[in-house]
Amino acid sequence: MVHREAFVAGLYFILMIVLALGAFIITRSSAARLAGTATIHSRPTYHGLLAAMQVFLPMLAILFFGSLLATRFVEQQSLAAMDPALLADELHRGAAYRDIRRFAAGGAVANATDGLKAGAATFAYLNTLTQWAIAGIGLSAGLAGLLFGLRTVTAEFRARNRFERIVAALLLACAGLAVLTTVGIVFSVLFETVHFFQKVSPVDFLFGTHWSPQQAIRADQGGASGSFGIAPLVVGTLLISTIAILVAGPIGLFAAIYMAEYASPKFRAWAKPILEILAGIPTVVLGFFAALTVAPVIREVGTALGLNVASESALAAGLVMGIMIVPFVSSLSDDVITAVPQSLRDGSLGMGATHSETIRRVVLPAALPGIVSAFMLAISRAVGETMIVVMAAGLAANLSFNPLDAVTTFTVQIKTILVGDQEFDSAKTLAAFALGFVLFFFTLTLNVIALAIVRKYREQYD
């Protein structure tokens, strides 16, 4: 089933490319022939490119929007055959549609009703139909584009201008995609968050001190609603981030100072790549290291000192996360320290201050806004980091400030809730999106402030 769909899609893609190439070659040679007899406005290549675009773009648009519409249409039609009582809400509809698709694909579905079978038959029929319909419409559009391209090959036709206008629009669309991504993020988390707040009050969410999103599967069972107070998560996230910044702050800042002020070019050539390696290590690797090497060491040391250390302590995750964000702090701080005008240093040195006095009293205060923003960006990294905490910090939502306890974070909870089977529309799943919203909002605020500081500060010395 899936394979046939993929096959049709693949065929469509190949046809799209072949048609576009064909349009390019045919139209170009046609224009070239014309160029032999008359002076034409645009070079033959532009006629060809324009024709190829006229084939390619409509076909792509038809595939995209056609599939989108077709999926909705097929879902609606195949569910129409089923008992409406079973389709009371989005949750049931989704489940029923999944069953229909599985049944249509030849899979086994426990106690399949007649409605389901009818739905599956409709699904199989309509799915094939819409696919071929899309393919047919797309092909005719492509051919129409080709014919249109051929017909417009005339001496006066401004093919280059037309083509460049299309390219300019495409470029704008590319840049717009970045905005679209942000809008997409905001909508996808905001939408579900609003849903979530219809089920759980925002006050409970923001100020509750108990987090246990586990819920009974059916609404009529006891203890149906979990508790969704994010205080333990906020504390856990802040605890780990604080440990991380306590590690990364001094190391990163001193490393940046040394690299910018003291290091010989030779030393820099050695040390820079080391920090770049550190920045390039995937977080899943650091998580493995934290969970299997650092955490046991901390536990052993703690036990030897007579302390009670949880096997998934915040300290292990925080330490390794601190190491992870050292390159962020150091490279950004390095940049701002280097950007401090030499005249300030010369003035201080000329007054007889030592190098370190110059750095501490003159360079660092001048670079302070930039350093602050470097720290903020690093904190935002630490708060949003997932793999290290997933692997090395626990799931237990303890409201604890003790770095030797197991704590949990926003990202760990989002991952735990959303990995594996989930039902949409349950408060638990929606809670993950609400957490994502808080996370996004928090890091975004930090970033916006940090970047604004950097921007303003750059202008100051430019």
Partner 1 sequence: MTDAVLTFAQTGPRKVDFFSEEAMARVQKRYRAEARFKAYGLGAVVLAGIFVVILLADIVSKGLPAFFEHRIALTVTLDAAKIDPEGKRDIEVLRAADYQRLIYDGLREEFPGVSDRRDRRKLEGLVSTGSGNDLRTLVLRNPSIIGQKTTLPVLLSDDADLYLKGIGTRVERAVGKGTLDIKQQGKTVELVGSAGAFAAPLADVKARLKRLASATEFELQGLSAAQATANAALEARREDLTARVKDFRQRSGDPASAETLDPATMPSELVEIAGGLVRLTEIAPGRAAGVVLLPLAADATRSDSWHRTTYTTPESNRRITDIEIAWLESLRGRKLTEKGFAWRFFTNGDSREPELAGIRGALIGSALTLAVTLLFCLPIGVGAAVYLEEFAPKNRLTDILEVNINNLAAVPSIVFGLLGLAMFLNFFGLPRSAPLVGGLVLALLVLPTIIIASRAALKAVPPSIKEAALGVGASHQQAIFHHVLPLAMPGIMTGTIIGMAHALGETAPLLMIGMVAFIVDIPQAISDPATVLPVQIYLWSDLPEVAFQAKTAAAIMVLLAFLFVMNGAAILLRRRFEQRW
Q: Which is nearer to partner 1, 129 or 173 (CB)?
A: 173
Q: How many CB atoms lie within 10 A of CB 455?
A: 11
Q: Which is nearer to partner 1, 116 or 414 (CB)?
A: 414
Supply 246's token pair.
Answer: 């306590």
Q: How far is CA 135 from CA 24, 66, 161, in A?
A: 21, 9, 31
The secondary structure element, H or E, covering residue 228 is strand 227-228
Q: Which is nearer to partner 1, 313 or 330 (CB)?
A: 330
Supply 368's token pair.
Answer: 């302070």
Q: Which is nearer to partner 1, 203 or 452 (CB)?
A: 452
Strand, coil or helix: 211: strand
Q: Which is nearer to partner 1, 83 or 276 (CB)?
A: 276
State yes or no: residue 262 binds partner 1 (CB under 8 A): yes
Binding piece for partner 1, criterion CB under 8 A, among 111-119, 138-146, 337-345, 351-359: 351-359
81: Cα separation from own chain's centroid: 38
State yes or no: residue 315 binds partner 1 (CB under 8 A): no
The CA-based dihedral angle spanning residues 232, 234, 239, 244, taken in that order and rounded to the nearest 10 degrees = 140
CA gyration radius, the chain: 30
State yes or no: residue 274 binds partner 1 (CB under 8 A): yes
Distance CA 149, CA 253 (A): 61
Q: Which is nearer to partner 1, 97 or 228 (CB)?
A: 97
Q: Which is nearer to partner 1, 103 or 289 (CB)?
A: 289
State yes or no: residue 370 binds partner 1 (CB under 8 A): no
The secondary structure element, H or E, covering residue 33 is helix 2-37
Q: Which of residues 384-443 bind partner 1 (CB under 8 A)?
A: 384-387, 390-391, 411, 414-415, 418-419, 424, 432-433, 436, 439-440, 443
Q: Which is nearer to partner 1, 80 or 172 (CB)?
A: 172
Which one of residues 175, 217, 219, 305 is an interface residue with partner 1 (CB under 8 A)? Answer: 175
Supply 67's token pair.
Answer: 């599939």
State yes or no: residue 105 binds partner 1 (CB under 8 A): no
Contact of 345 with 363, CB cutoff 8 Å? yes
Which one of residues 83, 300, 346, 357 is an interface residue with partner 1 (CB under 8 A)? Answer: 357
Binding piece for partner 1, criterion CB under 8 A, among 124-132, 189-197, 199-207, 307-315: 189-197
Which one of residues 127, 283, 313, 408 is an interface residue with partner 1 (CB under 8 A)? Answer: 283
Q: Which amino acid is at 328?
A: F
Distance CA 50, CA 167 (A): 10
Which one of residues 25, 69, 105, 284 is an interface residue with partner 1 (CB under 8 A)? Answer: 284
Q: Which is nearest to 443 in space by CA: 453, 454, 435?
A: 435
Binding piece for partner 1, criterion CB under 8 A, among 145-153, 173-181, 307-315, 362-370: 173-181
Distance CA 151, CA 85 (A): 57
State yes or no: residue 254 binds partner 1 (CB under 8 A): yes
Q: What residues have CB less than 8 Å from 428, skipping those under 6 apart? A: 213, 214, 215, 226, 417, 422
Binding piece for partner 1, criterion CB under 8 A, among 51-59, 78-86, 257-265, 367-375: 257-265
State yes or no: residue 197 binds partner 1 (CB under 8 A): no
State yes or no: residue 119 binds partner 1 (CB under 8 A): no
Which one of residues 125, 148, 197, 288 is an interface residue with partner 1 (CB under 8 A)? Answer: 288
Q: Which of residues 145-164 bind partner 1 (CB under 8 A)?
A: 160, 164
Which one of residues 96, 153, 200, 291 is an interface residue with partner 1 (CB under 8 A)? Answer: 291
Helices (H), 81-230: 90-104, 114-151, 159-199, 202-207
In DSSP terms, which residues pair with 227 in a beta bridge?
212
Helix, strand, coil shares, percent, the chain, to 5: 80, 0, 20
State yes or no: residue 354 binds partner 1 (CB under 8 A): yes
Q: With contacts defined by CB under 8 A, how many residues of the chain interact with partner 1?
A: 95
Binding piece for partner 1, criterion CB under 8 A, among 76-84, 198-206, 232-240, 277-285: 277-285
Least separation, in Å, of the C-beta of 152 and partner 1?
19
Q: Which is nearer to partner 1, 102 or 415 (CB)?
A: 415
Q: Which of residues 3-22 bind partner 1 (CB under 8 A)?
A: 3, 5-6
Binding piece for partner 1, criterion CB under 8 A, among 171-179, 201-209, 219-227, 235-243: 171-179
Distance CA 188, CA 180 (A): 12
Q: How many CB atoms lie within 10 A of CB 143?
A: 14
Q: What residues have CB less than 8 Å from 185, skipping those under 6 apart? A: 440
Q: Which is nearest to 377 in space by CA: 328, 436, 326?
A: 328
Longest pairwise C-alpha distance within the chain: 96
State yes or no: residue 307 binds partner 1 (CB under 8 A): no
Q: Which is nearer to partner 1, 325 or 366 (CB)?
A: 325
